[in-house]
Structure 1
Amino acid sequence: MKKIGLIGGISWVSTSDYYTLINKGVNEKRGGLNFSECLIYSFNYADIKRNNDNNDWDTTFEMLLKAAEVLKSGGAEAIVLCANTMHLIADKLQSAIGLPLIHIAEETAAEIQKKQIKKVGLLGTKFTMELDFFKDKLTEKGIETVIPNNEADKDFIHYTIFEELGRGLATDETKKRYIEIAKELIKDGAEGIILGCTEIPLVIKEGDLNVPIFDTTLIHTTAAVNFQLS
């Protein structure tokens, strides 16, 4: 089994899901007492959030690079960033660390292609929705991406990711608003909805919408399991 390094704490809630899903995935394929051989470097989320608020991606990159170096020194053969937004610096990190980085957007694009979908709605932090680092990976595969048009909707998603979901809080009111926003994207022609933040599965579940849901946490962890057992 190949050893992987998880960079988490962004937030601890989704990192816990990553650890659980990867271990379950390995066990489903290998059985017995076989589970994932992995290392985890978990950040204090407040430090990352402070950098985000100041648009200081250089400091975040240096933090993630040091974390990746620790994982590499521990024998990790690939890096998994347990957060969509951190993939803004994923390509740069992969070049610097000299290890494969299992890219969440590339793996998501591959899953969308399997369903022969050409237009998807993307929900995530404002960084993920508005910047190109995630959408470009979809464009490369001929997939069009739409995001909420309403600034208030984008602000709501961004705020609740950090202030509610990132703390493990999920209310019925928040779930209702997320579903309403997703349905607006479907009206705009989205044939599927990407849960482009690893905490959004707390409020949107399979069956909540009448189009396919692409849970990036599940897609990413499945890819990590496949790498470990390859």
Structure 2
Amino acid sequence: MRKIGLIGGMSWVSTASYYERINSEVQKRLGGFASAHMLIESVNYGDYARLQSDDDWDAAAGLMTRSAKRLEQSGATAILICSNAMHKIYDQVQPEVGIPILHIADCVGEKMVADGIASATLIGTRNVMTEGFYRKRLVGKGITLSPPDEERVMEIDRIIYEELMFNQAKRDSERTMKTYITNIAKMEIEAVVLGCTELDLIVDTKANILPIYDSTEIHADAAVDWILSEA
């Protein structure tokens, strides 16, 4: 079994989901008492939040690079950044380590292509929904993305940062997301991408009128594939 490294804490809520998913899948595949050989570098997201507010992404990349190097030095053979939004600095961090960082959008895109999905709506934090660093990865795999809806962008971003990152799954927000997905389904869209690692707290990924591609689940499963593949 190969050792995987996770950069977590962004938020701690979703990092717990990664830990549970990876270990449950390893046990399912190997049986018995098996669990994953895993390292977690859990950061203080407050440090990153301040840098985001100041739009100082270079400093954020410096922090994350140090985390990635610590995981590499501790024996990790690959790394996951357990956040969609923080992949904004992926291209600055990956060259600084000698092991692969599995890009969450690439994992999602590859799964969608394998399933024959050609069009989707991406929902997540504001920067994921509106900036190119994430969207271009999916478009580059031949997936057409609907343009971001400004009203949805504002409300989903608020729900994530004011509720989900504090582990609050509110009924009103569940209803809001259900309404959004129902409306998206009227647009001749084939699927919805949950481009936020906490959105599965309020979106039932198995009971919607459209296929839901949960980035947390897909990213964690890619980690399991890495762990159990031959070196």
TM range (shorter): over 0.9
SS at match of 1:133: helix
Check conservation: 1:9, 1:15, Cα contact below 8 A.
Answer: yes
Q: How many residues align?
A: 229
How far apart are the structure 2 equivalents of 1:137 and 1:66? 25
2:46 alignment partner in structure 1 = 46
1:124 has 2:124 as partner: yes
1:4 alignment partner in structure 2 = 4
- Deviation, 1:110, is 1.1
RMSD (CA atoms)? 1.2
1:190 alignment partner in structure 2 = 189
Check conservation: 1:124, 1:158, Cα contact below 8 A.
Answer: yes
Identity of matched residues, % = 37
Residue type of the alignment partner of 2:46: A
How far apart are the structure 2 equivalents of 1:129 and 1:31? 39
Residue type of the alignment partner of 1:35: S
Unaligned runs of 5+ in 1: none
1:87 has 2:87 as partner: yes
SS at match of 1:177: helix
How far apart are the structure 2 equivalents of 1:133 and 1:218? 20
Residue type of the alignment partner of 1:29: R
Encode CA deviations 1:88-140: one digit per residue, 9 max, x unaligned: 12132111112111111111011111221111011100010011111111111
Comparing 20-29 and 138-147, the one that deviates more: 138-147
Comparing 97-106 and 9-18, the one that deviates more: 97-106
1:70 alignment partner in structure 2 = 70
- Deviation, 1:31, is 1.2
Unaligned runs of 5+ in 2: none
Check conservation: 1:122, 1:146, Cα contact below 8 A.
Answer: yes
Check conservation: 2:84, 2:195, Cα contact below 8 A.
Answer: yes
Q: Would the alpha carbon gap of residues 194 and 227 (structure 1) be closer, same or farther in structure 2, given more than 3 Å must change?
A: same
Check conservation: 1:125, 1:161, Cα contact below 8 A.
Answer: yes
1:134 alignment partner in structure 2 = 134
SS at match of 2:158: helix
2:228 alignment partner in structure 1 = 229
TM-score by length of 2: 0.95
1:15 has 2:25 as partner: no
How far apart are the structure 1 equivalents of 2:9 and 2:147? 26
How far apart are the structure 1 equivalents of 2:38 and 2:146? 35
Comparing 169-178 and 108-117, the one that deviates more: 108-117
Comparing 166-175 and 27-36, the one that deviates more: 27-36
Encode CA deviations 1:156-193: one digit per residue, 9 max, x unaligned: 11111111001100111001111222223222232100
Check conservation: 1:146, 1:185, Cα contact below 8 A.
Answer: no
How far apart are the structure 2 equivalents of 1:47 and 1:163? 17
How far apart are the structure 2 equivalents of 1:222 and 1:26? 9
Check conservation: 2:4, 2:39, Cα contact below 8 A.
Answer: yes
Check conservation: 2:80, 2:101, Cα contact below 8 A.
Answer: yes
- Deviation, 1:59, is 1.1
